[in-house]
Amino acid sequence: MLDVRPSLRPFWFLSVALSFAACNGTEPKSQPLSLSFTTKSASSGAASPASADLQIGTGANSLTISQAQIVLAEIELSPNGSCSTTDEADDCDELEAAPALVDLPVDGTTKVALDGVVPPGTYSALQAQLDAVTPDEDEPGGSAFLQAHPDFQGISVKVTGVFTDANGQTHPCTFTVEADAEIEAAFNPPVTVGAGTSNLTIDVNLASWFTDATGAVIDPTNPDNAAAIEQNIQRSFRAFEDDNHDGTDDHDGGTGDSRTR
């Protein structure tokens, strides 16, 4: 179940220059927190023993993914309970994070992508923006991002691999998404950030991006399939507490559902 909140407490990346606003100077001491990514939930695929690639299906109509990258911005944590806001003042912390390029580990491992600090407290959801950065947008950190990653102008998702068609012919391919999308994943149970919490993990079901409801592989080289793949991408994110970095929820039976808006 997704918990959508109108007021969010963003995740602050140490590597990015940010603006900060707090009310009355009473903000508690921030806690260090890392954000990791895994693709463990890609159960319909498997890492190839000969390489670190993700194999989806076998033989004809199969896909091998060698690299998957996403651009995220405005990663935020929603507090458990609404913030105290009025028309005159906003008592919530407010931070803005510049876009960051994340390499998803296609081999099923769990890797730390970003380090930051957040105020201690209980959080019910993580929100992020799949961000197709363009030079004409007045976005904090956008120009620096495009300078560092010019190939990602207007691109929020890039996947590189090889598609094997029905005749067994292989086709090297690069699939890109040129759109923004808001992703929100609920923590179930909510996550309490304090002395004992040091890492959150986002599990991306990478195999689900290129499979339909029956489990058949979707051809990424066919432009007619782009909309279906984009919808699958937006539904594939799950977030949870993972202090031991093993890519699984630290709370037995806990799940974090995701959706987009």
Domain membership of residue 4 (yes or no) is: no
Mean pLDDT of 4-24: 34
Residue 244 predicted with pLDDT over 70: yes
Residue 84 or residue 134, greater confidence: 134
Judge whether residue 86 has pLDDT over 80. no
Structurally, the chain folds into a number of domains equal to 1
Res 90 pLDDT > 60: no
Residue 120: its pLDDT value, please? 87
Binned at pLDDT 50, 70 and 90, residue 88 comes out as very low
Tell me, what's the pLDDT at 92? 35
Q: What is the pTM of this model?
A: 0.80
Q: Is residue 149 one of the residues assigned to a domain? A: yes
Domain contains 1:
no
> Does the pLDDT value for residue 181 go beyond 70?
yes
**144-148 mean pLDDT:** 96
Please return the burial class of 177, using the count of CB atoms within 10 Å of its CB with bins 0-12, 13-18 and 19+: buried
Which residues form the domain of 196? 9-244
pLDDT for position 21 = 31
pLDDT of 253 strictly over 80:
no
Instruction: Tell me the per-residue pLDDT of 41-71, one tens digit each, with 9 for 90 and over.
Output: 875 455 555 458 999 999 999 999 999 999 9
Determine the average pLDDT of the residues in 251-260: 52
Whether 254 maps to a domain, the answer reads: no
| Structural domain includes residue 165 | yes
Domain assignment of residue 183, yes or no:
yes
pLDDT of the residue at 46? 54
3-state secondary structure the chain: CCCCCCCCEECEECCCCCCEECCCCCCCCCEEEEEEEECCCCCCEEECCCCCCEEECCCCCEEEEEEEEEEEEEEEEEECCCCCECCCCECCCEECCCCEEEEECCCCCEEEEEEEEECCEEEEEEEEEECCCCCCCCCCCHHHHHHHCHHHCCCCEEEEEEEECCCCCEEEEEEEECCCEEEEEEEEEEEEECCCCCEEEEEECHHHHHECCCCCECCCCCHHHHHHHHHHHHCCEEEEECCCCCCCCCCCCCCCCEEEC
The answer to the question of residue 249 being in a domain is no
Q: Has residue 133 been placed in a domain?
A: yes
- What pLDDT does residue 186 have? 85
Write the pLDDT tens digit of every residue in 187-222. 888 888 887 778 999 999 999 999 999 999 999 999
